[in-house]
Amino acid sequence: MVRSRFQPLAAGLAAGAFGAARRARSDAAGEEPSTDCAMWHGARLRLHAGARVAVAGADPDGPLGGLVEVVAYDARAHKWVLAAPRAGGRRVGVAEDRVALSHALLPGNGDAVEPFWGGVGLHDASQDRCGAGLATTARLEKGQPLFAEYPFVVAARSRADRWAAYVALSAAAAGGDGASARALQALDALVPTDSPSPEAEQTARALVADALGPGTHDAEVARVLAVLRKYEANQFLYDDGGDAKAATALYRLVARMNHSCAPSVALYPERNPQHPGALVPGDGRLVAKALAHLEPGEPLCICYGPADLIAWDLDKRRAYLAQHCGFRCVCARCLLEEEQAARSSR
């Protein structure tokens, strides 16, 4: 078996064990404040306390091999302070250009949604062929902020990193952490893509083979693939200050909003000014705002594609969503345009 920084996944596949993640603690319970809504700022990067990162150029068998934990950023030394599990948690300073995010577990955020409305509620409702999704229970004005939410999982774009995050979250939940258990339940409840991408299936087989050795292991491959499909259908780009489009995030409430090619809600990521060496609270939240006047019962839908997707024709929109999001769009606009095209061709 070839050693890699994902070798600890073998334990996760075999027994559901992985390194314990930093837990969120409830302020209401009188315990230390949660850092799930705060990020350490480096010279360029922004990373959550407890995030798992890989160190470029590290000896795979040495103390910085595998994944190590973010402790802080030392602005004077211009280095990230990392805890090395293989060295008994010893703290090591590492230059920023050698640090790359694997994943961050933020289970406390699964219970933390900041509402802006006064008495306005949200509920799940059937939205025709799009399935269940969020709807408003009150009248909303165009431009009105609805809620702000922080991610409960952040992971690199690598599918192996997404699986590593899932294994770590499963281990924390199995260890009795209530917030992690609720976050895991939220992730498991996500709707997957209609069909897996070839890349996802290839990655699932490679991860299982690396962890368990030669053999078919069909059940384990199916398990990994199911998780990767949920990521593909529900992830949002997340700016950690690294390479463009290097990270993605999962949100508990945002994930319940369906796609529409005529969206009623837009999402606005917020980033605080860079403060190297500071643990900045309230950084990295996502704000949802109404794009139109909405009456009670109307669905709250977002566009899963780029901003200019709504200006594309039917075939181009559907092709993009099938390729990048794994489903054939049947939103009200697409069905209407499909019907109009069919009538005009008669």
Task: Give tens-digit pLDDT for 162-191.
Answer: 999 999 999 999 999 999 999 999 999 898
Residue 333 inside a domain? The answer is: no
Claim to verify: residue 228 and residue 278 sit in the same structural domain: no
Edge-to-edge strand order for the sheet containing 38-41?
46-47, 38-41, 279-281
CB 47 within 8 A of CB 104: yes
> Is 90 exceeded by the pLDDT of residue 138?
no
pLDDT attached to residue 346: 73
pLDDT digits (tens, 9 = 90+) for 50-72: 999 999 999 999 999 999 999 99
pLDDT single digits (tens) 309-318: 999 999 999 9
Amino acid making up residue 178: G
Question: Is residue 334 situated within a structural domain?
Answer: no
| pLDDT, tens digit, 9 for 90 and up, residues 189-201 | 898 888 778 889 9
Residue 250 belongs to some domain of the structure: no
> 99 and 117 share a domain?
no
What is the predicted pLDDT for the residue at 191?
Answer: 85
Residue 338 in domain: no
Q: What is the pLDDT of residues 76-112, one digit of tens each?
A: 999 999 999 998 889 999 999 999 999 999 998 876 6
Q: Are residues 103 and 133 in the same domain?
A: no
Percent of the chain past pLDDT 90, that is, above it, reads 55
Same domain, 175 and 142: no
Same domain, 145 and 166: no
Closest CA to 249 of 104, 113, 148: 104
In a domain, 246, yes or no: no
Q: Do 192 and 145 touch, CB atoms closer than 8 A? A: no
Which residues have C-beta within 8 Å of that of residue 89, sequence separation ≥ 6?
A: 83
pLDDT tier, 245 (very low <50, low <70, confident <90, very high otherwise): low
Give a yes or no: residue 245 inside a domain.
Answer: no
Q: Give the highest mean pLDDT range of 205-214, 251-260, 310-319.
A: 310-319
Average pLDDT, the chain: 83
**Nearest-angstrom CA–CA distance, 293 and 157:** 36
Predicted confidence at residue 324, as pLDDT, reads: 83
Q: What is the pTM of this model?
A: 0.83
pLDDT of residue 129: 57
The answer for residues whose C-beta is within 8 angstroms of residue 301's C-beta and 6 or more apart is 127, 130, 133, 257, 258, 259, 260, 262, 263, 264, 265, 331
Q: Looking at residue 294, which CATH number applies to its domain?
A: 2.170.270.10
pLDDT band at 115 (very low <50, low <70, confident <90, very high): low
65 and 203 belong to one structural domain: yes
- The answer on 98 and 34 residing in a single domain is yes
Q: Are residues 71 and 25 in the same domain?
A: yes
Burial class (CB in 10 A: 0-12, 13-18, 19+), 109: buried
Residue 233: per-residue pLDDT? 86
Query: Are residues 215 and 71 both part of a single domain?
Result: yes
Question: For the segment 280-299, what is each residue's pLDDT rounded down to a tens digit?
Answer: 988 888 999 999 999 988 88
- Integer angstrom CA distances of residue 51 from 19, 38, 208: 12, 12, 24
Neighbours of 314 (CB within 10 A): 17
DSSP 8-state symbol, 96 = G
Structure tokens at 5: 């920084």
pLDDT for the residue 242:
76
Position 275 confidence tier, pLDDT thresholds 50, 70, 90: very high
Range of the domain at 216: 9-108+151-234
Residues 102 and 121 in one domain: no
| 3-class state of residue 105 by DSSP | strand
Are residues 276 and 205 part of one domain? Answer: no
Query: Which percentage of the chain shows pLDDT scores above 70?
Result: 83
How many domains in the chain? Answer: 2
User: Per the domain annotation, does 223 fall within a domain?
Assistant: yes
Same domain, 162 and 301: no
- Give the mean model confidence (pLDDT) for residues 327-335: 91
φ/ψ bin of 100: left (φ > 0), alpha (ψ from -120 to 50), beta (otherwise):
beta
pLDDT value of residue 21:
30
> Within a domain: residue 340?
no
